[in-house]
Amino acid sequence: MKYVLYVFALVVLLSGCRATNQLSLYQQLDGQQGIEKLVDSFINQIGHDSKILEYFKQANVAHFRQGFISHLCSVTDGPCSYTGDSMIDIHTGMNISEKDFNRVVELLINAMDEQQIPQRLQNTLLERLAPMRSEVINI
């Protein structure tokens, strides 16, 4: 009988782990509300970095905010489709250096830390954004 209880407890624990893995990244980031908080933290990080802020001097912050929220929603398997400009269209002519690109990634990580997003989720999000790197640097 004792053995049956241990097996049952193990099955319950493992099924709980499996259920967590079935949640989309969007859900794990707390959905729309979580993504909005992350984007707001990211914008705040940019606003306090004079070098990176230069790239945004002509930007409409409200437009950037909404576009990045939509982009992250789509990238994280949320219930939306990103219909904004391509990364190439947005970044062409900005001549973003690799150093500055890496700094923006650091600012995004800072924002995720600020929002207490677990490291595992941070890595998953960065992994999904990484393929766009070549569409941003020096174009």
Assess whether pLDDT exceeds 70 at residue 113: yes
137 beta partners: 96
| 100: nearest Cα among 126, 68, 137 | 137
The per-residue pLDDT for range 28-79, each reduced to its tens digit, is 999 999 999 999 999 999 999 999 999 998 899 999 999 999 999 999 999 9
User: How many domains does the chain contain in total?
Assistant: 1
Domain residues for 68?
Answer: 26-135
Banded pLDDT at 7 (limits 50, 70, 90) = very low
Residue 2 located in a structural domain: no
Question: What is the CATH number for 98?
Answer: 1.10.490.10
Residue 20 located in a structural domain: no
3 DSSP 8-state letter: H
Residue 118 located in a structural domain: yes
